[in-house]
Structure 1
Amino acid sequence: MTNATFTTDRSKVLILVSICLAAVVLPLSFTGGVVATPMIGHTLGGSATALTWITNAFMLSFGSLLMAAGALADKFGRKRMFILGMALFIITSLVLSVCSTVAWLDVLRAIQGAAAAASLSGGSSALAQEFEGHARTRAFSMLGTSFGVGLAFGPLMAGALIDIFGWPSIFFAIAGIGTVALILGMSQMRETRDPDATGFDWLGMLTFTGALTLFTFSVIEVPESGWMSPKVMTLLIASLVLSVIFILIELRVTKPMLDLSLFRYPRFIGVQMLPIGTCYCYIVLIVLLPLRFIGVGGYSEIEAGQLMLALSAPLLVIPMLVASLTRWVSASVLCGIGFLIAAIGLYLLGLINDGHSGYAVIIAMLLIGIGAGMPWGLMDGLAISVVPIERAGMATGIFNTTRVASEGVALAITIALLSTFASMKLQFLLSNSASSVTALRITEASQHIAVGDLSSASAILPEMSRNLLLSSYTNAFQSLTHVLIVITLLSALIAFFFLNRTSRTNCSYSDNKHIESKSDTI
């Protein structure tokens, strides 16, 4: 690690602002695309699968390329990677705003995800060079909070822009915020790189990206082909084979993209469970609930965005509150309690159908947001404090990859499950009627139901009334919440078990939070 120039405290603050702005704009792109999907479908058309890829393509390339981008940043320069990533992100956002087909939208969203990976990896690596001790922990906690801000206001901002200017305005706004982050980064960030970074783990990058891509493809194919279809099973087996090859490569190369020895630290394993747990109790709802409110509930985009504040607004307050509570309560207990609260909220959400009062939905979403906000406020700081400080850079890269890759995988799995549950309910309802409906039509209709598009499902199955289609969606959503509750409770148990483990070579969060250099404040 080399330092090109001395960085003043003012420059450090501006660098932090630049990287946090980038961290805000990335989830804005994610949530904005989700809210815009129904309007894009009405404007440009496209199948249910093609519309799903508007979100999945972004998350897949983002998650699969994070570690590779981090390695390239170490070799060629963190500032350079951040600037190149943000510039490409801005350009693709502007092109997306004038796109005329869903197919090109999907391609550009994949490119945008790759640009997001470059900017986040370069920015977070640069941030780790500017701060030390407790200041570094606080800086990364602020980075995590910035993600929360993007998630909190993304649906509302997207809804307002769509309602007033149409869906292309979302990508214009994202490009504008990204430009501010780019200008600050170019003017304030210093160039740093790892002098020991020799070569690049190309085989590791290709096998990891291939394994994640094949797995995501297999899950996305489930609604159309079935869980046990030859196509899905072939993709899953190929993904497993590439995963094994990836692990073997990382164990043998001198400079691995993924340092597997970090998983010898029990608390590091526990930290990886935190973003996985929040994906299934929180992130997937950021996608599914706007589709439900707009497509099933009949709300406008801006009304859906306002409702989503009940879910995401707690992330503006809870993370900071929980961080202060670590003085008296251990991180493992706080994370476990958070997941339990989220599980209660999921249970209440599953009981609600669209005939209930909006207050019931708001209460359920508030509980989920509060619960998810508790581990959310700790996991960025924990990611770099549960391993020796000299390995913080690699730990951050692995954590960010786990977070983003888990989001894409969790989204694909939940939509596949929702479509499967809807298909099962449709088959049950149609078996009790005299109608003769092919399995292909049921499968196609269930795919549209999963993304809240009851109008298209009704056109495919004119034999069924809207009330029956609505019943199938409500039943499927309730079954999905049961799965999410189980995963959330398992996340609580795993995180509590591993975060409570200690090691002589480990740096604990509670120990690190008292270490601070006077010259290293934020």
Structure 2
Amino acid sequence: MPSIASSPATRWLQLLSACLTGLLIPLCFTGPAVVLPAISHELGGSAAQLSWIMNSYILSYGGAMMVSGSLTDIYGQRRIWLIGLAWFCAFTFAIPFMPSVVWMDVLRLFQGVGGAAAFAAAMSSLAPLFDGQARARAFSLLGTTFGLGLSFGPWFFGWMVEVSTWQGVFYVTGALGVLGLGLVAISTPHARAAANGSLDWPGAISFTLALGLFTYGMLLIPERGWLDTVVIGALLASGGTFVGFIHIERRVARPMIDLRFFRDPGFIGVQALAASPAFLFIVLIVMLPGRFIGTDGYGALQAGQMMVWLAAPLLVVPFLAALLTRWFTPGTLSSAGLLLVAGGLIWLAHGFSVGGGQEVRLPLLLIGIGIGLPWGLMDGMAVSVVSPERVGMATGIFNTVRVSADGVAIAIVSVLLATLIQHSLALEAAIFPQTVVLEAAGRAALGELHAAASLLPGLEGQLAQSYATSFVTVLHALATLAAVTAGAVFVLLRRQRATTHTTSAEP
């Protein structure tokens, strides 16, 4: 395993490898979100099938993250990193050749598994390379890399769709994966020995199954409703499996998750912080392009340019937040950032209420600044609260919470928006079958008002008004959540400070 005594050149190159791997993650969100209308135009597909282009990746990525972290502890970062990237690249290059949206959904499942393995190894590789303030700066650079993908990914892919085809999104992402594969091969040393013997397979299987069933059930709600038997069955089975997982982890000698971690308020606070961007930022990354393109009449390039206002602060703010830890605790900075997000969401709701366009740019910028404060800090906090030999496990827990929250957040916000639209149209749409109304509400929630209106002829005006009102209501709900989370994070992390030592390696 690398150590903080590694040469500066090796540390820099491995940090670059980790950042390039990290860049792939936002590209796997922003690219498909921007090109979804183009895919729908060429391949068709129902609202549910198109949603699963995003959901499939989220489901497999979140479900595989915890196991990937444990495998990294056992077999070493280099091996898991290389296998994960190779797997990721193979399925990324295959996606554009699929003849239908359903086949794309399947391959996105496999793509997420490779992405999880690669990113878990990349994250755990940074902790032993840097120490103290250098570690904070290294992880802030990783956060900045995320910002690069989130800021310019929508713009770049929007431009690509207009001058070329949607398939180029996956070609570019795969090419970056190949470049990362080469960098990892030359920069990351072989592991000396297995850290923890063997994987806790009963725990790994039960946890992955519980998380997969829960995420699957939540993702089905927008298309089937809360009372659907499959949804209820998946959620109940998830709860039962998770109880079994807890029972297993309390009795095995080498558990996949050390439950003692959760006795530490700081560790719990970090997990709460990990989940917050999913509800307050990622859902906007996924939802806003559909609104801009399907409702406001923007082209893919224009929608990408608008998204830069939201994500561009992540290029700078995470690094500035790391510098501010000299004077403020990470918990204080993170709470302040979430309060800025709350204010930005209220401002954004007002901007859409008065017509959108120019009115939403500054609110988007404020939200990006606010989420950027905790963005680069929480990764460092996640690995600083455990011993070095448990870094892979801590990384797996942290990223499982973060990515699983993405799927849950997208599902909850989507079903909330679709439900509000459906209820708003309850009287006018009473003459249509319930399944048609559900499909139309789901289409509208994706921003596809023209497709939704074709299902409910004669209700075009009411549908547009319902969508606009419901969208503003959702933004107000998210603002409330941001304010509540800010208070909880401040309380849980009030004693958590940036880790400093007398010796540190400069990144």
TM-score, normalised to structure 2's length? 0.95
Q: Which amino acid aligns with 2:166?
A: W
Q: Deviations over 1:472-521 (max 9, x none)?
A: 11122122113212221221111011001x4xxxxx424x23x2525x22
Question: In 1, distance between residues paired with 2:22 and 2:10?
Answer: 18
Question: In 1, distance between residues paired with 2:29 and 2:327?
Answer: 35
Aligned to 2:475: 481
1:439 matched to 2:438? The reply is no
Question: In 2, distance between residues paired with 1:437 and 1:311?
Answer: 38
Aligned to 1:14: 13
Contact 2:4 2:128 in 1 (8 A): no
Cα distance change, pair 71–212 in 1 and its aligned pair in 2 (3 A): same
Aligned to 2:199: 200
Q: Which amino acid aligns with 1:259?
A: D
Contact 1:448 1:456 in 2 (8 A): yes
1:264 matched to 2:263? The reply is yes
Cα distance change, pair 96–491 in 1 and its aligned pair in 2 (3 A): same
Question: In 2, distance between residues paired with 1:419 and 1:99?
Answer: 29
Aligned to 1:211: 210
Question: In 2, distance between residues paired with 1:216 and 1:91?
Answer: 25
User: Number of matched residues?
Assistant: 507
Q: CA deviation at 1:134?
A: 3.3
Three-state SS of the structure 2 residue aligned to 1:375 is helix
1:498 matched to 2:492? The reply is yes
Contact 1:268 1:386 in 2 (8 A): yes
Cα distance change, pair 419–454 in 1 and its aligned pair in 2 (3 A): same
Q: CA deviation at 1:26?
A: 1.8
Q: Deviations over 1:53-112 (max 9, x none)?
A: 101110111111111012122222321111111111111111112222101100111111
Q: Which amino acid aligns with 2:454?
A: A
When structure 1 is superposed on structure 2, of 2-11 and 159-168 the one drifting more is: 2-11
Contact 2:86 2:181 in 1 (8 A): yes
Cα distance change, pair 287–326 in 1 and its aligned pair in 2 (3 A): same
Q: Deviations over 1:324-373 (max 9, x none)?
A: 22222222222112111111111122234476152211122111111111
Three-state SS of the structure 2 residue aligned to 1:347 is helix
Question: In 2, distance between residues paired with 1:115 and 1:390?
Answer: 23
Q: Deviations over 1:8-59 (max 9, x none)?
A: 2211111110111010122112210111111111110001011001011101
Q: Map 1:10-49 to 2 at 5 A.
A: 10-49=9-48
Aligned to 1:296: 295
Q: Which amino acid aligns with 1:413?
A: I
Aligned to 2:233: 234
> RMSD between aligned alpha carbons?
2.0
Contact 1:332 1:496 in 2 (8 A): yes
Cα distance change, pair 428–315 in 1 and its aligned pair in 2 (3 A): farther
Q: CA deviation at 1:132?
A: 3.3
Structure 2, unaligned runs of 5 or more: none
Q: Deviations over 1:263-318 (max 9, x none)?
A: 11111111111121121111110000001111111111110000001100011111
Question: In 2, distance between residues paired with 1:259 and 1:212?
Answer: 17
Contact 1:345 1:367 in 2 (8 A): yes
1:472 matched to 2:466? The reply is yes
1:457 matched to 2:452? The reply is yes
Cα distance change, pair 118–27 in 1 and its aligned pair in 2 (3 A): same
Contact 1:4 1:191 in 2 (8 A): no
1:509 matched to 2:497? The reply is yes
1:521 matched to 2:506? The reply is yes
Contact 1:265 1:387 in 2 (8 A): no
Three-state SS of the structure 2 residue aligned to 1:282 is helix
Contact 2:271 2:401 in 1 (8 A): yes
Cα distance change, pair 323–7 in 1 and its aligned pair in 2 (3 A): closer
Q: Which amino acid aligns with 1:458?
A: A
Question: In 2, distance between residues paired with 1:3 and 1:459?
Answer: 59
Q: Map 1:315-330 to 2 at 5 A.
A: 315-330=314-329
Aligned to 1:505: none
Q: CA deviation at 1:396?
A: 2.2
Q: Which amino acid aligns with 1:517?
A: T
When structure 1 is superposed on structure 2, of 302-311 and 197-206 the one drifting more is: 197-206
Q: Map 1:151-190 to 2 at 5 A.
A: 151-190=150-189
Three-state SS of the structure 1 residue aligned to 2:312 is helix
1:86 matched to 2:85? The reply is yes
Question: In 2, distance between residues paired with 1:260 and 1:302?
Answer: 47
Contact 1:214 1:239 in 2 (8 A): yes
Contact 2:443 2:451 in 1 (8 A): yes
Q: Which amino acid aligns with 1:129?
A: P
Question: In 2, distance between residues paired with 1:71 and 1:295?
Answer: 42
Cα distance change, pair 126–6 in 1 and its aligned pair in 2 (3 A): same
Contact 2:337 2:374 in 1 (8 A): yes
Q: Deviations over 1:191-242 (max 9, x none)?
A: 1265342221122222222222222222222233322333322221111111
Q: Which amino acid aligns with 2:49?
A: A
Aligned to 1:397: 396
Q: Deviations over 1:94-147 (max 9, x none)?
A: 111222210110011111100001111122222333333433333223222222
Cα distance change, pair 330–135 in 1 and its aligned pair in 2 (3 A): closer
Q: Which amino acid aligns with 1:386?
A: V
